[in-house]
Amino acid sequence: MSAREMPLASLIVRSLGWLGLGLWALAVLLSDFLAHAPAGAVMVGAELSPPSGLHPFGTDIIGRDMFSETLHGLAATGVKAVGAALIAIVLGGLFGAVAVRLPRFPALVLRGFWGVLASVPALLLAILLIGLFGNDFTIFAAGLATAPLGFVRSFDAVDPRSRHAEYAHATGIPAMILLKRDLRYDFRRMLGSVVTRALAAVTIVISTASFLGFGASPPARDLGLMIAASKVSFFSAWWTAAFPALALILVILCARMAAGLGEGERA
């Protein structure tokens, strides 16, 4: 759907989502400049100090500045999410767009196989892959785990037996030329939605896996691990979990808004 065909409310929501993602990218790029302290720097302030002018997000149990740590965690999550999203886009959205244009039998076999994988929660697939190959495999695990749902969406979005497709084949144009044409126009048309859906999905998987102990390992910390580490002090120092959680929620929300997801639709 083009911008002209999109309802005004949907266009505004998507624009706000892309604006939020742009600010997120800017914060990731400038995290070292914006942060008050290096990543992991301890005793920057008093332990478990509440938010103040000196420490806007307070400090944690070992005196780390939570504003700085949230920025560094946001950057760590962002780098992983972008890498995983690229894998999901290629193996999911792009592969689905190619597979639907294969001969009917192999296309249906691929649709059935990826459909079965898509029925399994992506987080469980990611944890299984991380368990088999180790925490260093987190980016690949998140990308591979979220690819099946992207494949199914991309596959089901195209009708290879439409009148347009039948006419194109009847002209005798080689299949490879038609495939290149379809990918150039049709896949490019839904690329923004594919990218933002993948970004939202892998961010959820990576952060949740880290929260459960299957992702980042200390001293490296992403937002998921930061939230997990705050469990020991959450009830006495709410800010140690609230600000990393809020940052994570905003990233996922912006990605979902940019994708224009309907009510109840999974990322």
178 band by pLDDT with thresholds 50, 70 and 90:
low
Domain ranges of the chain: 80-259
Is 164 a residue whose pLDDT tops 60? no
Percent of the chain at pLDDT > 70 equals 84
Q: What is the DSSP letter of 59?
A: B
Contact status, residue 192 vs residue 15, Cβ threshold 8 Å: no
**pLDDT at 192 (0 to 100):** 86
- CATH fold of 80-259: MetI-like fold (1.10.3720)
Contact status, residue 95 vs residue 111, Cβ threshold 8 Å: no
220 band by pLDDT with thresholds 50, 70 and 90:
confident
Q: Which one is predicted more confidently, 265 or 256? A: 256
Is 226 a residue whose pLDDT tops 60? yes
DSSP 101-128: TS-HHHHHHHHHHHHHHHTS-HHHHHHH
Q: Is 60 helix (H, G, I), strand (E, B) or coil?
A: coil
Contact status, residue 104 vs residue 159, Cβ threshold 8 Å: no
What pTM, to 2 d.p., does this model score? 0.86
Contact status, residue 222 vs residue 69, Cβ threshold 8 Å: no
Is 264 a residue whose pLDDT tops 50? no
Q: What is the mean pLDDT of the chain?
A: 86
Q: What is the pLDDT of residues 38-67, one digit of tens each?
A: 998 999 999 999 999 999 999 999 999 999
For residue 251, give both structure tokens: 């990233």
